[in-house]
Structure 1
């Protein structure tokens, strides 16, 4: 353990980071390893892979994930903005390249070169939107709000062309939260809400896959006459497995949902958690996610730097909303979105994107001398 009096690069980092958030992230990472071991072997065996194929790959992905998160957390606020701009530009280039040359998977072109670029665009978008709103609030001659207004359609239109309605909704909700934080008039808040509702209605009317998912969720058709699964088979099975798990679960390795759900190691890993480890453990996971979000919002409210305040709030909203959406899908509260549970679900792009997100979060929540903040505000 380094001393406070020992002024080194690493000691400065250690004594200025929010170790509560860091500890909560570590708990989620360890939980992710355990739950991947619970949910992925059955999927691997169905695909003809070795039993612990996904577990081993998850462990391999964790190495660059931790390295990227720690490296990003050393950045200053100025370097965070620059890094976010580079990531955003590269991500958007890859999204457009994916639309032209990417492989079509389940009716969407979201992947290219083995990565999902939209995952990396999310944290970069939050940082750029936070910078625009903060500059607009601090310097009246800076058209920050106008830039933030332009940034949203420039980001979500390519996502809707993939199509990726889940990521579009997530980014829009975070942007709306930052818009509200900027202290703009309630008239604009109501207008943005109306545009959001209109966007959902437009997507329902014009995008067949969106209409199909919503219709199946609101009025699920019966099972096929030949005995095949119903249209809401995955969601219904996930809810049933959580109920069967009860308060304390059936025990590690004793679950049955992972044997019939194709995405039990990714989208529906929360259902596996409920069946094998019980509702008590699900509540524990939920409390860890909630702790990170609440801790981030508290730190944000105390931060004197406008950019760091907006960025912290936006990043924890992004993190928390993604977790809520995944859990809500598993509980059949909303239609399936194909969104992972942060640090718990298997997925290389998801883990690396979360590393970038939490690295940015740790960087902008680091305690800094008042002289540095005063220089920034001046």
Structure 2
């Protein structure tokens, strides 16, 4: 075990929380899988879902380990090279019109042996791309149109391709980019213009989707607009609040200590019990104390991210940690907010706990990047300590030599 830990670099607090969340995830995922086996009737065993989750986490942690070993400065070049790839993947995903189990799957791309979610890949690539651009314009006079082409055009393309299929992810990415630009000291007057333009675009898009004949827009647009309408008018009768109502029942029936592992009842009525609404199942089985413990772990990770950003040796490292770290925490808080009916249904997973493939892998990649930054910071601290120790040793040696000379002078 000591040898294994010795090869894990970076912030040990972050490593510990990551492992705790991943280990805990097996119990609620296994419990929720009984819904798919016995209620939905997929024809698979509960063990197969547990093994699938183990496989996804294994691949994810392998990626995490490999990424965290890299020097984080290499991610500047990687982000630039991957930006066109991410855009192409998003474009093909949007136009493929594929369905899975009768439901629209325009968020997924089938590449034969596996289905990937390009929006998860594009989010990380775009945030890293924005971070490297903001570093490149430091101490330079920024002109609006050149920066609009180099910075905001890729942002608009990525967010625009994600928006029809996944409003929540598009909104989070856009807000994160604006936040990074603010921290990176992008001119605030340009930033305000971009912010107002983004709000106006979304407003016009929603207005067009609500006024045009049904079926004109991609059906995922109708889905997320109807979710927002249902959330805003939750007291009106005749609304389809099936998942939300069952999540409320799960949370209310959990009490203080919960029903116990695997004893959830509402998992049989929540179609997304192992992903979008897994937090409701956790509260039902582990109670308020279990739900607050999970919340505390995510908030502690957020605290460690802030420390890592503060200590980052370069602006690029600081922006990477802030962008990827807050994106990670935002997903967790949104998932929990949906489960407790504070937010409309979004489809955001609970990082490292919800079942999934691409979402787990990209979460691990982003955590690997953050740990790579903390690793570099620790290396610099270690070098500084070694330098101070070397100076102290030399001072002791000079002191000893002077003492010997003084003794020889007295003897003569």
TM-score, structure 1 length as denominator?
Answer: 0.87
Counting matched residue pairs gives 359
Q: Which residue of 2 aligns with 1:181?
A: 183
Contact 1:170/1:318 (<8 A) preserved: yes
Give CA deviations for 1:35-78 in whole Å, capped at 9, x if unaligned.
21222222232233212332120011111111001001111123
1:194 positional shift: 3.3
Could you tell which deviates more after superposition, 205-214 or 149-158?
205-214
Q: Which residue of 1 aligns with 2:108?
A: 111
Paired with 2:79 and 2:19, the residues of 1 have a C-alpha distance of 24
Aligned counterpart for 1:67 among listed residues 62, 69, 80: 62
1:285 positional shift: 0.8
Paired with 1:82 and 1:40, the residues of 2 have a C-alpha distance of 41
1:282 positional shift: 1.0
Q: Which residue of 1 aligns with 2:341?
A: 332
Q: Which residue of 2 aligns with 1:166?
A: 168
1:139 positional shift: 4.5
Tell me the secondary structure at the aligned position of residue 99 of structure 2.
strand
Unpaired runs of 5+ in structure 1?
A: 4-9, 225-229, 374-378
Residues 90, 183 of structure 1: alpha-carbon distance in 2 compared, 3 angstrom cutoff: closer
1:234 positional shift: 0.6
Give CA deviations for 1:272-294 in whole Å, capped at 9, x if unaligned.
00101011111111111111112
Paired with 1:27 and 1:300, the residues of 2 have a C-alpha distance of 22
Q: Which residue of 2 aligns with 1:89?
A: 84
Paired with 1:121 and 1:27, the residues of 2 have a C-alpha distance of 27
Paired with 2:166 and 2:236, the residues of 1 have a C-alpha distance of 27
The answer on 1:204 being equivalent to 2:215 is: no
Residues 246, 188 of structure 1: alpha-carbon distance in 2 compared, 3 angstrom cutoff: farther
The answer on 1:344 being equivalent to 2:337 is: no
Could you tell which deviates more after superposition, 252-261 or 265-274?
252-261
Residues 304, 40 of structure 1: alpha-carbon distance in 2 compared, 3 angstrom cutoff: same
Paired with 2:51 and 2:99, the residues of 1 have a C-alpha distance of 26
Paired with 1:370 and 1:278, the residues of 2 have a C-alpha distance of 42
1:189 positional shift: 5.2
Contact 1:44/1:53 (<8 A) preserved: no
Aligned counterpart for 1:152 among listed residues 152, 155, 173: 155
Paired with 2:383 and 2:92, the residues of 1 have a C-alpha distance of 41
Aligned counterpart for 2:28 among listed residues 13, 25, 35: 35
Residues 371, 66 of structure 1: alpha-carbon distance in 2 compared, 3 angstrom cutoff: closer
1:108 positional shift: 5.0
Give CA deviations for 1:204-234 in whole Å, capped at 9, x if unaligned.
212351432221111147666xxxxx51111
Larger Rg, first or second structure (1 or 2):
2
1:185 positional shift: 5.5
Residues 369, 112 of structure 1: alpha-carbon distance in 2 compared, 3 angstrom cutoff: same
Contact 2:27/2:261 (<8 A) preserved: no
Paired with 2:142 and 2:383, the residues of 1 have a C-alpha distance of 23
Q: Which residue of 2 aligns with 1:51?
A: 46
Contact 2:10/2:373 (<8 A) preserved: no
Paired with 1:307 and 1:169, the residues of 2 have a C-alpha distance of 23
Give CA deviations for 1:106-136 in whole Å, capped at 9, x if unaligned.
3451211211111111111111111111222
- Spell out the pairing of 1:223-242 with structure 2 (5 A cutoff): 230-242=239-251
Unpaired runs of 5+ in structure 2?
A: 211-221, 385-412
Paired with 1:194 and 1:273, the residues of 2 have a C-alpha distance of 39
Tell me the secondary structure at the aligned position of residue 291 of structure 1.
helix
- Spell out the pairing of 1:189-338 with structure 2 (5 A cutoff): 190-208=192-210, 209=222, 210-220=224-234, 230-338=239-347
1:192 positional shift: 4.5
Contact 1:43/1:265 (<8 A) preserved: no
TM-score, structure 2 length as denominator?
Answer: 0.80
